[in-house]
Amino acid sequence: MLGLMQEWPLLCHKLIDNAERQHGGREIVSRSIEGPIVRTTYADIHRRARQVAQRLEQDGFGLGDRIATLAWNTARHIEAWYGIMGIGAIYHTLNPRLFPEQIAWIMSNAGDKGIFVDLTFVPLLEKIAGSVPSLRKVIVLTDQAHMPRTTLPGAVAYEEWLAEADGAFAWRTFDENTAAGMCYTSGTTGDPKGVLYSHRSNVLHAMIAAMPDAMGISARDVVLPVVPMFHANAWGLAQSTPMVGAKLVMPGCKMDGASIYELLDSEKVTFSAAVPTVWMMLLQYLEETGNMLPNLRKVVIGGAACPRAVISKYQDKYGVEVVHAWGMTEMSPLGTLCTMKPQYETLEGEARLDAQCKQGYAPFGVEMKVTDDDDKALPWDGHTFGRLKVRGPAVARAYYGGAGAEQFDAEGWFDTGDVAHIDAGGYMQITDRAKDVIKSGGEWISTIDLENLAVGHPDVAEAAAIGVQHSKWGERPLLVVVRKPGKEPSRDEILDFMRGKVAKWWMPDDVAFVAEIPHTATGKIQKTTLRQQFRDYRLPTD
């Protein structure tokens, strides 16, 4: 027997309809790409998003069309998203930090037919537009007065293009499982893979994200999403902020400490979210200027593990609650948030920081487990680690075009590629990437733990642990070390320093000293290169 409740499909335009109806006068403040701070409201955005939708239909776009955005966080970018979704087309966010040929590959793979592009990225798009055969419309997010000379064929200025629609438009309706958005993962190996969000997954994710124990944002908040809309849906903030009617502050293209501080201060921002780098830049600015953060209530930090000192400084000196979080593009992106359960709430000082350095627990709507190589679930004991697998209504079940099928199993679990443990309280901590973990005699050794331990030695500048072939154990750990300038710690000094602090069988079989460890563009250790470099290394134990 079915229930007798209303059919009310979870469609994204209902988020912005609600913002207009209940919070129409609430401001959206953007640092525009042209320079000045621009103020608009949810009522304005709602009206203009319907104009975008209507105008796109006039240009022949419709259900299922992929329309790219190559843009910073601004009100216009939000309007574009809702306008695109409102006709059943798909916003496809492009990450401008990728190489131009990667962006061209992604656009071609997605079959993007149109693009909304910020002034900043017109030169970038000029380089690649010719290699995207599907592209037939370029809309530059500015007005005619600021329109640059461009080689892009038929490029139009957003404001004048928009003015050709009168806004007499009703959102199209369709199944809630219709695709709404698209974002490619920047895989460290292989081609990027497309994640295809649905209206239903976006709306449920917005609700999950706004919950008191997740981001916990309310109509009284002023939200500054520093995390870009092209980075995993701006962690859902472009949806959950309108949903609750909070004031929205958009940083445009300036994310340095001074610019972020200016917005935090002038707009009385109460909530923000960004990667650790942003918070470190802001911290440096605050220390230099002596400025404080009287309005800022809470920040969510994710995208990479947040250094303990950053968490502690924001909380102790600036009175800002820090919520460490973890997610993935494939998860819309929220996975876990380190808000406090009652048993952690009472912790103080270092014990509290220990808890906060974990990535947190999964809210309702995210299921997780850690498994061994045989896909057997491992205990939640805070130390047994395995592959982290997740499930939920805002988690991908496949990549666009069927790529990466091996990451999804029959029961619906998605293999994150991360290695983690979960404690008895449900708090998860990432310990490694699955491809980096060292497998010694069938047991796993976490390279991150070994590295964190090694850099505790006063003479070690940087350390990387990698697995090296071993005839008996399969693999054994080799520690690669960069010494601090003028220091000469020996192999045995470093190993002695580590001994007793990890299980005996985790101890590196050898230490190799190098002048430099290779890094990716985002500052992560390039383990693949390092493993290649030490491919023929002969361990003394072998």
| Residues engaged in binding a second copy (CB under 8 A) | 1-8, 10, 14-15, 18, 21-23, 26, 63-64, 90, 175, 177-180, 195-201, 207-208, 210-213, 216-220, 243-245, 247, 332, 339-342, 345, 361-362, 364-365, 367, 391-400, 412, 414, 426
Verify whether residue 444 is a known catalytic residue. yes
**Which CB, 168 or 405, lies closer to a second copy?**
405
**Which CB, 171 or 534, lies closer to a second copy?**
171
Q: How many CB atoms sit inside 10 A of residue 503's CB?
A: 10
**Which CB, 69 or 142, lies closer to a second copy?**
69
Distance CA 271, CA 221 (A): 7
Instruction: Give Cβ neighbours of residue 424 (< 8 Å, ≥ 6 apart).
Output: 380, 381, 382
Verify whether residue 235 is a known catalytic residue. no
Active-site entry in 235, 444, 473, 506: 444
**Which CB, 268 or 519, lies closer to a second copy?**
268
Instruction: Give Cβ neighbours of residue 55 (< 8 Å, ≥ 6 apart).
Output: 83, 161, 162, 164, 165
DSSP characters over 220-284? T-EEEE-S-TTTGGGGGHHHHHHHHT-EEEE-BT--SHHHHHHHHHHTT--EEEE-HHHHHHHHH
Interior/surface letters 368-396, b for 16+ CB within 10 angstroms, e for the rest: bbbbeeeeeebebeeeebbbbbbbbebbb
- Per the DSSP assignment, residues forming a β-bridge with 101 are none
Shortest Å, Cβ 96 to a second copy = 24
Distance CA 335, CA 389 (A): 11
CA distance between the termini of the chain: 67
By the 10 Å C-beta count (0-12 exposed, 13-18 middle, 19+ buried), 188 is classed as: middle
Verify whether residue 447 is a known catalytic residue. no
Shortest Å, Cβ 63 to a second copy = 7
Shortest Å, Cβ 399 to a second copy = 7
**Which CB, 19 or 278, lies closer to a second copy?**
19
Shortest Å, Cβ 88 to a second copy = 8
Active-site entry in 14, 57, 380, 439: 439
Cβ distance 392 to 331 under 8 Å? yes
* Beta-sheet pairing, 428-433 with 443-445: unpaired
**Which CB, 393 or 474, lies closer to a second copy?**
393
**Which CB, 119 or 207, lies closer to a second copy?**
207
Active-site entry in 74, 142, 185, 447: 185
Shortest Å, Cβ 198 to a second copy = 3
Active-site entry in 330, 336, 451, 475: 330
Cβ distance 435 to 447 under 8 Å? no
Instruction: Give Cβ neighbours of residue 398 (< 8 Å, ≥ 6 apart).
Output: 405, 408
Instruction: Give Cβ neighbours of residue 149 (< 8 Å, ≥ 6 apart).
Output: none
Shortest Å, Cβ 332 to a second copy = 8
Verify whether residue 439 is a known catalytic residue. yes
Residue 217: CA count within 13 A, CB half-sphere:
34
Shortest Å, Cβ 206 to a second copy = 8
What are the residue numbers of the active site?
185, 330, 439, 444
